[in-house]
Amino acid sequence: MIDTDKYKTKKNRNWELKVTEQENDFNYEDIIAVDSLGKESYTVAQMVDTGLEDAQLIADAPLLLEEVKRLRKIEQEHGRVIIDDWEHKPLGDADAYPLPYVTVYHGGCEYVGLLRLHKNEDGEVIE
């Protein structure tokens, strides 16, 4: 897991990709830090002939970091559910149909269990 705390800063980071030169059939891509007014302030990184995909990924790093922080905040507020195993049979019933085995993280606690079918594909409640 990424330790997002090590990226804390008081200023918003905004990086843009700029192809600065073309020389000897090579593309030079600069990742430029841009201030809130859109003015270029410094070069974060320079890459040569990446095909732009890697350079764009680096330029998007501040946006990706903010998205990770946003999703973690949602997870902390609302919890998360993980489907661990789709082929788990209930204990003591070797002939039973396999059920999804889930883990729910909520409020600092971890809940584990099996899900049972409540409604079928036609919306009918299963008893």
φ/ψ of residue 5, rounded to 5: -65, -30
In contact, 1 and 27? CB cutoff 8 Å: no
Strand order in the sheet with 80-88: 80-88, 99-106, 109-114
pLDDT tens digit sequence for 5-43: 887 766 677 888 888 767 677 778 888 888 878 888 888
pLDDT tens digit sequence for 70-86: 988 888 888 888 877 66
pLDDT greater than 70 at residue 88 = no
φ/ψ of residue 62, rounded to 5: -60, -35
* CA distances (Å), origin 65, targets 1, 4, 36, 58, 84: 12, 7, 18, 11, 27
